[in-house]
Amino acid sequence: MSRKLAILAAGVLLVGVPLIGNAQVPVAVATDQAALLKSSDPKLAANKKLVYDFWREVFLTGNADLATKYMAEGYIQHNPGVPTGRAAFQNFVKTRPKAAVPATIPNLVTIRAEGDLVILAFKRDLPEPTDPSKTYSTTWFDMFRVENGMVVEHWDYGTKAAPAAK
């Protein structure tokens, strides 16, 4: 074990926290989203562009009619708050506020693609639990599977909400 690692481990054992501190580096958003769409592999570049445009033109705008341009009919959804199937997704998107198509995706950190999977990473600012007047930044991920030029599956950190108190 290296000397630095040994000192860090001893600090954790003795005081319960690393000696180097608990400071978080704030999440930074991408400044050049067009560069994120590039890849030396044309299929990966096409998959990234498909998901990027789907997010901008359908999800962010509430334009459910454009879903047929990007999503397979048998679309599979893994978020417990959103139904499976393209038609069900379209009904969900119709409940979102209508907006113009943005030139870029707000708070986008990066886009990564490998094989048939594309991941969008976003910056999220949340209330600090110990002081709700402050916020901290963290990252949210959405992953899509692309097949035959269509979004066919989606995963994210979706969770079920607790029932409202009566």
Residue with tokens 């029932």: 163
Quote the pLDDT of residue 15.
Answer: 42
**pLDDT, mean over the chain:** 88
The helix or strand, by DSSP H or E, that contains position 3, with its residue range, turns out to be: helix 3-15
Entry pTM? 0.82
What is the token pair recorded at 114?
């490998």
Could you give all domains of the chain from N- to C-terminal order, each with its CATH number?
28-156 (3.10.450.50)
Provide the edge-to-edge strand list for the sheet that holds 117-128: 71-77, 150-156, 131-147, 117-128, 108-114
Quote the pLDDT of residue 22.
Answer: 56
Question: Does 164 or 6 have the greater pLDDT score?
Answer: 164
Residue 5 has pLDDT above 80, yes or no: no
| Spatial separation of the C-alpha atoms in residues 75 and 54, rounded to whole Å | 13
pLDDT in tens, 92-134: 999 999 999 999 999 999 999 999 999 999 999 999 999 989 9
Which of 21-25, 104-108, 119-123, 160-164 is least confident?
21-25
Residue 9 has pLDDT above 80, yes or no: no
pLDDT in tens, 26-38: 999 999 999 999 9
| Spatial separation of the C-alpha atoms in residues 19 and 7, rounded to whole Å | 8
